Structure 1
């Protein structure tokens, strides 16, 4: 590293990155302001801005006059100089967004996930991605990078997704790479939901928090010291495998889905409702019946809240987060689950995690994918500038 710091090209790129980071975070500024804020000399700032402007990464956005001295030029990053794609592969829906370098969506397409095989899934994702690019008046080949959120944990050595029983087959990763033909990152969907919450939702300004998603499955994304934490092999947050107080009757569920997921996710809620005598097909129907005052549905929902409360105490005991964000089709029903969650938390000891519903609804994974893609795009841009 010491030798690299003597490399003039590297020093130039580091200075450029510093200026662009400042403009990205705080908006337009003059050369003098940038020099004062960054500590760089005015000639260094001017040279860096000139190089960035020549390559279209910054542009002149205005001038300030009316005070002694020459007119002051204001510069800002050119958010449209590159574009990224965020892709959310859900069980029922596939969502694709094209965004600029500030995260503004310029194209979006959503489509039903009807794929029965990894080949079909890759084809559907490719079609939706290219449609989103067309909506943005962009060629798909101009996209700098794409980030895909899927269930499971991607094993780069094997090129497969692990812990993803709901996907048609685990080789989807390589099929997506072949279909999309762009720089591609594959990340766990709940990890990306945590990234989205950190960038846009209840995790903003918080260095340590957890997002627990309870929907068709159960998962957790962890942010530690402001960064996504995935563990040694990418499996941090796989709380579906945390032992539950009650195990499912089918022991196969323990291997495929994990104890907590088998009893606490949406299918487990439906099974509990049917065991209690309710002829309901979805967790949404169970919660609707509870809202309408059905006493049996309310007891099922209360039992679910107690399961969630126990899980959150386990999360708090290990991570001590500033806040736990609940998301997913089941988890976001905090108005119905909240009392039972809090009651179970109170019973289990002195830990009192703050629990709030996600602010992002169904868009959390997509927003997280875009945020991750933006960060990677900057790295790719500046790596290319280093030569």
Structure 2
């Protein structure tokens, strides 16, 4: 059996794992993402060496939040890490003497779900990751779809509300401003700040500090039966479902998987998503309908997918 190293570089943490060819995450380690991005290649190499031990490693796959080049060698732009045209594959490969591929983090997660998770039974998958923002990855006819320039599936910046909420990308009304974990938390904090009815549980959670109202904490309250938290998750699901209907009209996937931190809400989120999706999908009664599922691999999807892509030639 051969092994590969998968790496997921985020704005706060660099997570890496030793992954078998069957998609098993055998070992996992992480380090904080440094303020000095120039040290990231050394951190990635050190994590890979620790994880590899005496095993034979065929390659290293790196998922990074941002635009990556078509040849999977360079991070073109990663705003959270201050990278522009960063030759990351070359830098890490020189330290490890191993083949290295670099891919967008959501693309890597989509490939992980396709190969070993929620998309194992299909050759057409759309993964939607709902966390701080909204990311996406597309697998079409068994191949990762990257677009003409390698930057496809930036679905979080699909504009759905003209002149809507300002987005960090410079536009207004982007999907992720309404359908993300950040939007969920923003709405919850606004309800408490405004003294809206039904906010008792959220107000107690905040205890005078609105920053204590987080996505996971709100989800826990919803699972415990707090009506406002359930309502807020349903509102979020409505936005997600409406966006999925637009995406399905364009991409026509067989399966849509919902991943990311907010997916931890389970059916409290999935139910409203599916309801809104079916309501807004054009000509519903005259077309095959994609199945909407929760992703299966959790926060390991990016690591597992990146590792598997290290075994695969770019297409």
Coarse TM-score class (shorter-chain normalised): 0.7 to 0.9
Counterparts of 1:264-283 in structure 2 under 5 Å?
Answer: 264-277=179-192, 278=202, 279=210, 280-283=212-215
Equivalents in 2 of 1:335, 1:300: separation in Å?
14
The answer to which structure has the higher helix fraction is 1
CA deviation after TM superposition for structure 1 residue 143, in Å:
3.6
Preserved CA contact (<8 Å) 1:240 1:258:
no
CA deviation after TM superposition for structure 1 residue 181, in Å:
4.4
- Secondary structure of 2:185 counterpart: helix
TM-score (norm 2): 0.81
Counterparts of 1:246-265 in structure 2 under 5 Å?
Answer: 249=165, 251=166, 253-255=168-170, 259-265=174-180
Match status 1:161 vs 2:75: yes
Match status 1:286 vs 2:222: no
Match status 1:109 vs 2:28: yes
Aligned to 1:234: 150
- Secondary structure of 1:244 counterpart: coil
CA deviation after TM superposition for structure 1 residue 307, in Å:
0.8
Q: Deviations over 1:61-113 (max 9, x none)?
A: xxxxxxxxxxxxxxxxxx34xx43221223443232334555555x6331142
Counterparts of 1:337-356 in structure 2 under 5 Å?
Answer: 337-348=269-280, 349-351=282-284, 352-356=289-293
Aligned to 1:313: 245
Equivalents in 1 of 2:86, 2:171: separation in Å?
18
- Secondary structure of 1:307 counterpart: helix
CA deviation after TM superposition for structure 1 residue 156, in Å:
5.9
Gap regions ≥5 residues in structure 2: 193-201, 203-209
Computed over aligned residues only, the root mean square deviation of the Cα atoms, in angstroms, reads 2.9
Match status 1:371 vs 2:305: no
> Max radius of gyration: which structure?
1
Preserved CA contact (<8 Å) 1:320 1:353:
yes
TM-score (norm 1): 0.67
Equivalents in 2 of 1:307, 1:336: separation in Å?
14
Equivalents in 1 of 2:140, 2:156: separation in Å?
20
- Secondary structure of 2:311 counterpart: helix
Equivalents in 1 of 2:235, 2:215: separation in Å?
13
Aligned to 2:13: 93
Q: Deviations over 1:15-73 (max 9, x none)?
A: xxxxxxxxxxxxxxxxxxxxxxxxxxxxxxxxxxxxxxxxxxxxxxxxxxxxxxxxxxx
Preserved CA contact (<8 Å) 1:212 1:326:
yes
CA deviation after TM superposition for structure 1 residue 224, in Å:
0.9
Equivalents in 2 of 1:330, 1:372: separation in Å?
26
Equivalents in 1 of 2:35, 2:82: separation in Å?
6
Equivalents in 1 of 2:170, 2:114: separation in Å?
31
CA deviation after TM superposition for structure 1 residue 317, in Å:
0.5
Aligned to 2:136: 220
CA deviation after TM superposition for structure 1 residue 248, in Å:
5.5
Equivalents in 1 of 2:59, 2:255: separation in Å?
31
> Residues 354 and 281 (structure 1 numbering): CA distance in 2 closer, same or farther, change over 3 Å?
same
Equivalents in 2 of 1:218, 1:376: separation in Å?
27
Aligned to 1:185: 101
Match status 1:120 vs 2:46: no
Preserved CA contact (<8 Å) 2:72 2:102:
no
CA deviation after TM superposition for structure 1 residue 160, in Å:
5.1
- Secondary structure of 2:231 counterpart: helix
Gap regions ≥5 residues in structure 1: 1-78, 380-387
CA deviation after TM superposition for structure 1 residue 285, in Å:
1.4
Match of 2:233 among 301, 305, 327: 301
Equivalents in 2 of 1:131, 1:159: separation in Å?
23
Equivalents in 2 of 1:285, 1:257: separation in Å?
28
User: How many pairs are equivalent?
Assistant: 291
Aligned to 1:20: none
- Secondary structure of 2:213 counterpart: coil
- Secondary structure of 2:78 counterpart: coil
Aligned to 2:110: 194
CA deviation after TM superposition for structure 1 residue 239, in Å:
0.2
Preserved CA contact (<8 Å) 1:326 1:358:
yes
Q: Which has the higher contact order (CA 8 A, sep 6+)?
A: 2
